[in-house]
Amino acid sequence: QVTLRESGPALVKPTQTLTLTCTFSGFSLNTSGMCVSWIRQPPGKALEWLARIDWDDDKYYSTSLKTRLTISKDTSKNQVVLTMTNMDPVDTATYYCARIAGCGRGGYYFNYWGQGTLVTVSS
Amino acid sequence: DIQMTQSPSTLSASVGDRVTITCRASQSVSSWLAWYQQKPGKAPKVLIYKVSSLESGVPSRFSGSESGTEFTLTISSLQPDDFATYYCQQYNSFPWTFGQGTKVEIK
């Protein structure tokens, strides 16, 4: 059974760095074809893809947020970590991690999601 | 970036209605398009991938189709559990992008 769970601070101040952790089970990021992404959703707004990390440590980022994002993995802990620098109130959103159905095989859609974690940026 | 434009933004319908949601891509996404359903306070759930392939466990009343760069999600007979917001997503090229969503409301 595949599960993902996001964790991190609920409140950050402007200019601070946000660190979110996705802890997953039911699969391994050591396995070929496994990839995990982060997606966010501001309150009442649409989904926005942020970043992806692959089993072979390839990484991909949103064009508009590339300079602020870093994604990494700790396969021994079954975790994926996203850091976002220089947080701003417009970054207030629910942040989701999700597993990609089939990396390298064209199945680049999200078939398992965490429940999401709401991050508010405010002083 | 590829822009995904959904229409309508809101749709009012009754149980049993046939519902169609459209998603238009600003350029070709080949057939790399998925549809998600999201209920308030919940994570999205994939319904359809690769334009028309039904995800396991999704009811057959959901279907997808394409015509060029225009994609359609159809619910053949709307059920009470289907009132939700629906998003399309292209995964043909980076950055992956979503539509702005279509909310299906009770009429």
Instruction: Give ∠ CA B82-B85-B90 in degrees, rounded to 5.
Output: 115
Q: How confident is the model at residue A10 (pLDDT cuts 50, 70, 90)?
A: very high
Would you call B79 helix, strand, or coil by DSSP? Answer: coil
In this complex, the residue of A37, A49, A116 whose CB is nearest that of residue B43 is: A116
Contacts of A44 (CB under 8 A, 6+ apart): none
Best of A47, A61, A63, A68 to disrupt the B interface (most B CBs within 10 Å) is A47
Res A102: pLDDT: 85
Res A106: pLDDT: 74
| B32-44 mean pLDDT | 97
Q: In whole angstroms, what is the distance from residue A53 CA to residue A43 CA?
A: 25
In this complex, the residue of A47, A61, A108 whose CB is nearest that of residue B44 is: A47
Portion of chain B with pLDDT greater than 70, in percent = 100
* pLDDT for residue A104 is more than 90: no
* pLDDT for residue A35 is more than 90: yes
Q: Contact B34/A116, CB-based, under 8 Å?
A: no
The string of pLDDT tens digits covering residues B49-100 is: 999 999 999 999 999 999 999 999 999 999 999 999 999 999 999 999 999 9
A42 touches chain B (CB under 8 A): no
Q: How confident is the model at residue A103 (pLDDT cuts 50, 70, 90)?
A: confident
Q: Contact A109/B45, CB-based, under 8 Å?
A: no
How far, rounded to the nearest angstrom, does the alpha carbon of residue B56 sit from its chain's CA centroid?
16
Rounded to the nearest angstrom, the minimum Cα separation between A94 and chain B is 10
Res A105: pLDDT: 76
Which is it for the CA torsion B83, B32, A114, A25, positive or negative? Answer: positive
